[in-house]
Structure 1
Amino acid sequence: MYYVQRNEEGQLTRVEQAPFSGMTGEVFSDTPEIIAWNNARSVVDESLQHKELLQRSDLEMVRVLDDLIFLLIQKGVITITDLPPMAQVKLMNRAQARQGLGGLEDLLNSDDQGIF
């Protein structure tokens, strides 16, 4: 049994397994409406998991890009002044933050000496 809330058009807006404040009815679990709701919830949950994975990898990619820019500067392929002024500021701020980690870098398995 599911406890539901419906809008003015009779469409499900909330479905719970326990009674809740504002519920407008009860529906058996084997109805097409509940099956469709649960299938949609599964799709949404899977999409959210993919989004979270992508967001975590975005954070990891920032570090990769930092390292790539450092490498290009170190090899003389580009200079920091080749980048737009706001990018220069952001890279310098990140470089200072990474250097500020000091002794913590060993804990993070990092072998950086700073990027500039």
Structure 2
Amino acid sequence: MPYVHRTALGEIDSLHRQPLPGATEFLDNDHPEVQRFVGGNSTSPDNFNQLDAEFIRVIEDVIDALIMKNVITITDLPAQAQAKLFARKSLRDRLNGKTLRLFPNTGFSQVIDDTGFGPL
């Protein structure tokens, strides 16, 4: 479908439905250069998994923002959701130390009994 217009360096800089002056080269929608120009192949499983992972992080950030603004409290969430959030935050904290602290550091973080949360 797309007719491509290229820069002087040969990179695609625009796509068109109809041929135009300077845009007479036709490439299939699935062509790697077209996919790269439009942001990748959104139908590939790997890309979808990456989008899921990024979206999960967005949801976590939204929950953090709601907690920080006192719109919700962590205890408003179901016990399993709390456990999963704490597990992810703990892992991320160990990996890079840049997570939101929902509770002040009391030194008792390793003593919390999470057996009531069930399997993660």
Which category of TM-score, normalised to the shorter sequence, fits these structures? 0.3 to 0.5
Q: TM-score, normalised by structure 2?
A: 0.45
Q: TM-score, normalised by structure 1?
A: 0.47
Larger radius of gyration: 1
Structure with the bigger percentage of helix? 1
